[in-house]
Structure 1
Amino acid sequence: MSISSLFFKGAVLWFVAGTSVGMQMGLSGNHNFIDAHAHLNLLGWVSSALFGCFYKLHPIIAAKRRTWVHFTLYNAGLALMLPSLYLVQAGYEWAEPLMQIGSTLTWAGVIVFAILVVTAPGLGKNGVGI
């Protein structure tokens, strides 16, 4: 399976999770989990979908082994950070270190992506290659 497809499939799963938190907040009237909802949708759904688009548009970059490092770090980080954020917002302070570790992994995934983009030789003079 291509890295682009994996990011898209992951994005859809994060979207389901994000909208589920949104539904839970809307039905309960308790909007204390707005940060978890926003992070699920922006980091999970939107960013993952954009990564998928980027890799689909740039197959030479998508073929690099580092894209799998990006995918693994980013999604492992989200899988740890986002539930932990929800728990922290629910008042479980013990989840704070897990959230910090997850945030660090997610950030590391973003850095790998940034390196892939900045060092890519085929993006053209304007930097977008589209």
Structure 2
Amino acid sequence: MIGSLMMCVSVVVLLFGMLGGIAMGIQQNFTLAPAHSHLNLVGGVLLFLFGLYYRLFPAAGSTVLAKLQGGLHIAGAILFPTGVAIVLLKGPSFEVAPIVGSLTVVAAMTLFAIIVFRTSRA
């Protein structure tokens, strides 16, 4: 279940990321390129890979830990690049958002590592 949700969120995030990239290209203004790349990688690619793992190992995706990991990563994957964009547009006084977002993503990745080590041997 969490794997399917992650894959669906992933494709929506990637669509937004692609549209943002097209808009930057049309305007020839690449100020938000770091936010764009983090959105695509952290929010799109990683979420999809996590979802695939949970589909490959359904028992791993049915745990409370996997649901926590998925929720944390979705939240961090949105907060982190959004925070980067805000800092790029408004300045360093808004640095708390990408810091909290990146730490959330690292926490989610740590949970995923634990899940993989527990379940890949099965």
Is TM more than 0.5 here? yes
Match of 1:77 in 2: 76
3-state SS, counterpart of residue 95 of structure 2: helix
Deviations, residues 55-106 of structure 1 (Å, cap 9, x unaligned):
0000111111100110111111122111111111224323211110111111
More helix by proportion, 1 or 2?
2
Q: Which has the larger radius of gyration?
A: 1
Match of 1:46 in 2: 45
Tell which deviates more after alignment, 63-72 or 13-22: 13-22
Deviations, residues 28-66 of structure 1 (Å, cap 9, x unaligned):
101121111111111111111111110000011111110
Is 2:114 the partner of 1:115?
yes
Provide the C-alpha distance between the structure 2 equivalents of 1:24 and 1:94, rounded to a whole number of angstroms.
26
Match of 1:35 in 2: 34
Q: How many residues align?
A: 122
* Percent of residue pairs bearing the same amino acid type: 30
- What amino acid is aligned across from residue 28 of structure 1 in structure 2? Q
Higher RCO (CA < 8 A, seq sep 6+): 2
Structure 1: runs of 5+ lacking an equivalent: none
| Shift >4 Å, 4+ stretches | none
